[in-house]
Amino acid sequence: MCALRDAAPDFSRHKVTVYGISLDDVHSLAKFKQDQKLDFSLLSDPDGSVAKKYGVLMKGRPYARRVTFLIDEQGIVRHITPKVDLRQHGTQVLEKISELRKTVR
């Protein structure tokens, strides 16, 4: 998550909104957001319904895989990153956004 936090000024410059979603409850997420000094919204999915719809809920376990979805203004999923490198992810997402903006017009 820190890579996304650290890339926040670049996301803002590119007019990109970042959301994190977790199976954790709202209070846990609020503490995590404060502890990690995140400036983007964290959404709670305690029953795993959203994770299940996106295919990231781990079978037989109360966890979701770390996956990034790039969704455009029309709600179309333009890219999925199935394995997230926590250290480089902010840069990787920005590069993919730039690439997609060149090809999707």
Provide the domain limits for residue 29: 2-103
Q: Is the pLDDT of residue 87 over 80?
A: yes
The domain that contains 82 carries what CATH number? 3.40.30.10
Q: Name the percent of the chain lying above pLDDT 90.
A: 64
- Give the confidence band of 55 by pLDDT, cuts at 50, 70, 90: very high
Mean pLDDT of 69-82: 93
Considering its fold, how many domains does the chain have in total? 1
- 88-92 contacts: CB < 8 A, separation 24 or more? 88/3, 89/3, 89/4, 90/3, 90/4, 90/5, 90/6, 90/7, 90/10, 90/11, 91/3, 91/7
Could you give the 3-state DSSP secondary structure of residue 55? coil
Do 7 and 90 meet the contact criterion of CB atoms below 8 Å apart? yes
pLDDT of residue 105: 60
pTM of the model: 0.85
pLDDT in tens, 9-49: 898 888 899 999 999 999 999 999 999 999 899 999 999 99
